Amino acid sequence: MLLAISPPRTGKALVSDELFARLSARIAHDHPELDADLPPRILDQALAFLAACAVTAAPIGPSALVDIGWHTFILHTHDYAEFCHRVAGRFIHHEPEPTPDDDIPQPIGAPISRTVNAIRGAGFVVDASLWAGEGAAECTQCHAGCTDSPTG
């Protein structure tokens, strides 16, 4: 008997076409320095990342580029809250990294490889070029430090 293997999903499939277009346009507007093809790719990966957050117990965090998509989405509070409750069954909080001026110890970021593996493990396509580069492994977002962390 052959097992049917589902093809990887896209993050874009998690929201309506209208919402995806609106958020992609907002990324393009807020970040004119980005190449024209990047806003929808960034948003797709942000949505896949958030879906992985819903099922991953280990701390994971977005790359600097993917974090742009998360920031854009979270500002649309109604849509973001609905998405979180539908996909994760809870609100996915965003905890910013401490700055050097903060009077708290600097955390060690989640390895980007853990995040990429979590996204793949959740069944989503990974746009590898958005997960490489400077700042990609320094984020401690998603579960680490979140008030609703499944790990504690």
Instruction: Return the domain boundaries, the chain.
Output: 11-131
Say what the pLDDT of residue 6 is. Answer: 72
- Nearby residues of 77 by Cβ (< 8 Å), 6 or more positions away: none
Contact 136, 64 (CB under 8 A): yes
Sign of CA dihedral 127, 129, 135, 137: positive
Half-sphere exposure of 71 (CA within 13 A, CB side): 14
Say what the pLDDT of residue 101 is. Answer: 66
- Assigned token pair, 108: 């060690």
Does residue 136 surpass a pLDDT of 50? no
Does residue 68 surpass a pLDDT of 50? yes
What is the pTM assigned to this prediction?
Answer: 0.80
Question: How far, in Å, CA of 66 to CA of 128, rounded?
Answer: 11
- Assigned token pair, 129: 């070029």
Contact 94, 74 (CB under 8 A): yes
